[in-house]
Structure 1
Amino acid sequence: MSRTLEITSIKLDKTMDKNLEKQQEAATGDEENGGGAVKRRGHETSALEAATHLFKGSVGAGLFAMGDCFKNGGLAGATILLPIIAVMCVHCERMLIRGSVLAVERTPGVDFLDYPETVEKCFEYGPRPLRRMSRFMKLVVEMFLCVTQFGFCAIYFVFITENLHQVLQQNGIDISMSMVMLITLLPAMIPSLMTNLKYISPVSAFANVALLFGLISTLTIAFSDGPMPSIAERHLFTSASQLSLFFGTALFSYEGIALILPLRNSMRKPENFSSRFGVLNSTMFFTTALFIFTGFVSYVRWGEDVAGSITLNLVVEEVFSQVVKIVAALGVFLGYPIQFFVMMKILWPPLKRSNNCAQKYPITMQVCLRFVMVMMTFGVALVVPKLNLFISLIGALCSTCLAFVIPVLIDFVIRAQVPKGLGVFAYIKNILILTVAVLGIVTGTYQSIVEIVKEFK
């Protein structure tokens, strides 16, 4: 019996892979058609452009928070756990892609389904008792995506403001944090009006250069600022409460799952996205190595004093440190339209379908919606008391559900459609992922809220 289950499971995996290979071309994810299910359009991106977007979607504020991440996880603990989390993320992203491909195969006239539509269709085509949950599951995913992307955008404002505020104060410009944030508002509006990933590519590429410059410069200063402290002075492992904060920060840093389907389906050759040495695996391997190196060096250098962004640990009196803070802030700032793109892609289609004005004046209404949403992220950023704690909260609550829980549920539903399709190995593997996810959600969310309440007091 176990041998039969194993063979059935293997056949199911092979069927998924064949379907994945068949889907050669897909949509750019242009918002104008709405609903996530769109026809193929122009402006296809190359593998390099897709990798650029995915890299930028994973190395924003989270990259500079790696010092705090290692402080909460410990040198040895974080070094061991980060690759494990990365492998789990990639595996779940591949399950999401497979679910999307199979749903497209069964949906006539559709070339592309985004994350929420994929979940809806997978449940709609699933076992009969689960079909009535399809619309609800789609709404759940849309809610988590909106909250996550909204949180990312707000955190980006905070990151930029904290770095610029230090530089301005050092140069005798004594203005409040709120005023500094207001200064960044207008520049944030301009790139946020772009509605196609193809047009955002130059912005994303420049943001990557700025981020890498800021990171390399920060680490160079860390190495050159006297002898490095001994590793023995740092914690190798930490307490359970700190590990929960580590988990949230780590999940926040791997924040690109919302971009997986839009990026894959915007490519000229989508099959190259998730191949063995394709965009997904290559980019995530490089990203994880960068995270580990950055976090390890930052925690060894600054120890328990490491800030939510390692650029805040640089001596602001030095001119070069000021340049680094500004360039790093610019790199994160230019990642704003990438995260904003995903949020708008969810909000705009249903608004357009249900509103006559949006149908009659689509451009005007979309610009108005974008303006309102930028202002809302700006407003939330004004009341964020602590960057690192909100990073942990968003990561623990929303990112964990999107990265782990939903893809596993999709895999369960897909395999349940095939007789004996859920093999023993797949069942145990999915249960383990869900167990890790639930522990991370409960402990991470609780600990983050406790720390945030302390900050408000």
Structure 2
Amino acid sequence: MIESERLRIVANIFISFIGAGVLGLPYAFKEAGLMEGSLIMASVCYLSVTAMLLLMDCRAKIQQSPTILASLKNGSTGGGSSVESTVGKKARYANGKEYVELGMQEEDPPANRAVSRKPITYSDVAFAALGRFGRITVDASLLVTQVGFCCAYLIFITENLASFIDGLSQSQWLLIILPPLFLLTLVPDLGKMAIFSLFAQVSNLFAFAVVFWFDFEHFHLASNEHRKEFSIQGFPFFFSVAIYCFEGAGMILSLEQSVSEKMRHTFRTSFVWTIIGVTSLYITFGVSGYLSYGSETKDIITLNLPPGSGIDFAMMVKCCLCFSLFFTYPIMMFPVNALLEERCQHLLTSKLITATLIRVFLVSSTGFIVIVVPRFADLMALVGASCCTVLAFILPGTCHMIMFAGSLSKRDYIMDYVLIVTGVIGAIIGTLDALANITS
């Protein structure tokens, strides 16, 4: 029983950090080089894990303080961030990665379920440390990242459709898929989409397996002539992409609180070792993809897959991913719609008209962004460098420093400052580099 629950914990963590963005890692290694990319990935892993552990410490401090809990109750609209609390039990979003919980809460006794009815969110932690400004910053950052990930899905779908169906351009495919996506955003029950979230994860794992297979088949064809080990010019881009892949601060507290009380003491250890495994997968996947295709590596590695003469696994991968991400789009857009509806419900007398106009605006906006930023890699870097850096490094370090003021050791202060400074510098350099690549 205990081992099965520990396995579910590891599985939930693993699939929460494996998203379609990983398919852009081989191109990131092409830009930064093998050694530089591996070092950056390992460093971002260490800092990201440290930051998320600090958020868990902040959550524990809030639960132990009746004063802070009372301030959250008085200063919160509905007990937490609308962005984080809107998603149903079956399907949850995780900063661009979606997952289906594997039923841990259903086995909890009533006393444990009572604790999870009012989970402490990232937004609550920011409110406890920084007041209303902190809550607004977290909500705004999560909103922007959610929209950014939806745009990344659109780019992935349209690029792959245009690559294996001749006659229609990426822009034409965009115009074709936006209307049905708008209709899917009108679905009021997110639980009905849970099966597609699970299918997306299965498709991702299938895609990784097929890409690995093609990579190893092409090792003997790859040329060492253009292979890079280090590239200072590619540093900002890879740093931004790495944060995009690792940033899980938006969902780590939900993951932790989904674990029963009797197993929660094991969560940190399971989390750290699982992320080490995920990091190894990231590096192996990115390095093998770059080694296989060299200077020809594309921003989405599936575009490098050659058509097969028998069973066309490349076509199967593209179709599965396009199908799953198509239905993941409304899941990712759901919390954005919910928050904007809550904020704009007073503007019009009809809630239905308000909800419809919000969805029209958001879906149209994602289409416009894709037209302006049509490359998957550039969008990954821009989202990672801007809002993901705030959520992953800057806010965790700031919140921890404020909430534990007076009780921090010198080492704790240094780590908080390292997170904040790294986040600020990385955000500035990464955002400027992403904008330069977009406009060039």
Q: Would the alpha carbon gap of residues 394 and 277 (structure 1) be closer, same or farther in structure 2, given more than 3 Å must change? A: same
State the alpha-carbon separation in 2 of the partners of residues 274 and 190 from structure 1.
Answer: 42
Aligned mate of 1:315, from 306, 310, 314: 306
My pick for the range that moved more, 296-305 or 55-64, is 55-64
Please tell me the residue identity of whatever aligns with 1:107: L
Equivalent position SS for 1:257: coil
State the alpha-carbon separation in 2 of the partners of residues 274 and 402 from structure 1.
Answer: 25
Superposition CA RMSD, Å: 3.1
Equivalent position SS for 1:276: helix
Task: Point out where structure 2 has 5 or more consecutive residues left out of the alignment.
Answer: 74-78, 80-117
Aligned mate of 1:305, from 296, 300, 303: 296
* Structure 1 partner of 2:268: 276
My pick for the range that moved more, 382-391 or 336-345, is 336-345
Q: Contact (CA 8 Å) 1:192, 1:337: kept in 2 or not?
A: yes
* 1:402 paired to 2:388: no
Q: Would the alpha carbon gap of residues 56 and 187 (structure 1) be closer, same or farther in structure 2, given more than 3 Å must change? A: farther
State the alpha-carbon separation in 1 of the partners of residues 356 and 258 from structure 2.
Answer: 23
Q: Contact (CA 8 Å) 2:160, 2:303: kept in 1 or not?
A: yes
Give 1:394 deviation, angstroms: 1.3
Alignment of 1:163-202 (within 5 A): 163-169=160-166, 174-186=167-179, 188-189=181-182, 192-193=185-186, 199-202=192-195
Q: Would the alpha carbon gap of residues 66 and 390 (structure 1) be closer, same or farther in structure 2, given more than 3 Å must change? A: same
What whole-Å deviation, never above 9, does each CA across 1:218-271 have from its counterpart, x for those lacking one? 2212222361536675111112x2111110111111243322234444555596
* Structure 1 partner of 2:52: 93
Q: Would the alpha carbon gap of residues 102 and 226 (structure 1) be closer, same or farther in structure 2, given more than 3 Å must change? A: closer
Q: TM-score, normalised by structure 1?
A: 0.75
* Structure 1 partner of 2:382: 393
State the alpha-carbon separation in 2 of the partners of residues 202 and 47 from structure 1.
Answer: 23
State the alpha-carbon separation in 2 of the partners of residues 191 and 178 from structure 1.
Answer: 20
Q: Between Structure 1 and Structure 2, how many residues are aligned?
A: 386
Alignment of 1:83-232 (within 5 A): 83-104=42-63, 105=65, 106-108=68-70, 111-123=118-130, 134-169=131-166, 174-186=167-179, 188-189=181-182, 192-193=185-186, 199-225=192-218, 227-229=220-222
Q: Contact (CA 8 Å) 2:395, 2:420: kept in 1 or not?
A: no
Q: Contact (CA 8 Å) 2:51, 2:393: kept in 1 or not?
A: yes
Q: Contact (CA 8 Å) 2:141, 2:387: kept in 1 or not?
A: yes
* 1:61 paired to 2:20: yes
* Structure 2 partner of 1:245: 237
State the alpha-carbon separation in 1 of the partners of residues 241 and 343 from structure 2.
Answer: 32
Q: Contact (CA 8 Å) 2:155, 2:374: kept in 1 or not?
A: no
Q: TM-score, normalised by structure 2?
A: 0.77
Give 1:407 deviation, angstroms: 0.5
Alignment of 1:376-455 (within 5 A): 376-416=365-405, 420-454=406-440
Alignment of 1:339-378 (within 5 A): 339-344=332-337, 346-351=339-344, 354=346, 357=349, 361=351, 366=355, 369-378=358-367
Give 1:423 deviation, angstroms: 1.4
The percent of aligned pairs where both chains have the same amino acid is 26
State the alpha-carbon separation in 2 of the partners of residues 206 and 47 from structure 1.
Answer: 23
Equivalent position SS for 2:267: coil
Q: Contact (CA 8 Å) 1:274, 1:281: kept in 2 or not?
A: no
Q: Would the alpha carbon gap of residues 348 and 413 (structure 1) be closer, same or farther in structure 2, given more than 3 Å must change? A: farther
State the alpha-carbon separation in 2 of the partners of residues 409 and 220 from structure 1.
Answer: 43
